[in-house]
Amino acid sequence: HHFAPTWLNFFFLASEGVPANRIHVVGNTIVDVVQRFKHRIGESNVMERFDLEGSRPFILLTAHRPENVDYRENLECLVEILSLLRDVTVVFPVHPRTRRRLEEFNLIRRLEELPKLRLVEPLPYFDFLRLLAEAALVLTDSGGVQEEAAILGRLTLTLRNTTPRWETVLAGINFLVGIRNPKLVAEASRFILSRKELRARATGASKLFGDGRAGERIAGLLLKLKAEGELEYPSPPMPEFPWRRFLHQS
């Protein structure tokens, strides 16, 4: 049995030969988490700590994928993007892997010289979600962040040429821009920051991954399947094994 977050996942599974009666569209459990802890997100004081209240609109950036940060040429493209956005407030929680590469390639100083760039340490989950909810735009190479941005109604530019979250692309709230064309990324960022009506589209797509009841549906289906005997699997035969010798050696 397969618990699919979206109907697109359903069609992918069906195209691979999974019987339709074994695919259940339930929503994404991340939506459950975000909705369950909305109060914790709202209670975060991260906006005040980073003095962002007067710096809107701002961009939230994350970058950690090996293909983007482990290669000097690609990481230099990321630095160039930020240089082109030097007059825009950008908050960049720096992944440890990314920081190591920035230091190794002698690029960290170029970032530290940008007046509106906030280089910060990786953030606790609720602090990060508060920034995500307040950002006017998200730049990321993370599949999970693309997902959370959609749930919180944010537009995303993905610094990759593909994505595991095609729902967001089809909904017109996530754009695959890659990392190798800094000018394109910077121009797209400026365009989105200046268009409130475009950002409103993302707010309307916040239910893309479900309504926050995925866990409830999964539990209900599991109980139903168990009651119907669907989850009763016989134990495999015990293999021959020199138990005594194994225990003695241990």
Catalytically annotated residues? 64
Q: CA distances (Å), 240 to each of 81, 122, 235, 237, in order? A: 61, 49, 15, 9
Give the other-Cβ count within 10 Å of 124's Cβ.
11
Q: Are 201 and 173 in contact (CB under 8 A)?
A: yes
The DSSP secondary structure of 165-194, one letter per residue, reads: -HHHHHTTSEEE--SS-HHHHHHHHHHHHT
Beta strands in 41-136 (DSSP E): 58-61, 89-93, 117-120
Q: What does the alpha-carbon distance between residue 200 and residue 221 come to, in Å, rounded to a whole number?
A: 35
Q: What DSSP element (H or E) covers 116? A: none
CA dist 224 and 43 (Å) reads 38
Q: CA–CA separation, 75 vs 104, rounded Å? A: 11
Residues 232, 222: contact at Cβ < 8 Å?
Answer: no
Angle at the Cα of 162 from the Cα atoms of 56 and 72, rounded to 5 degrees: 75
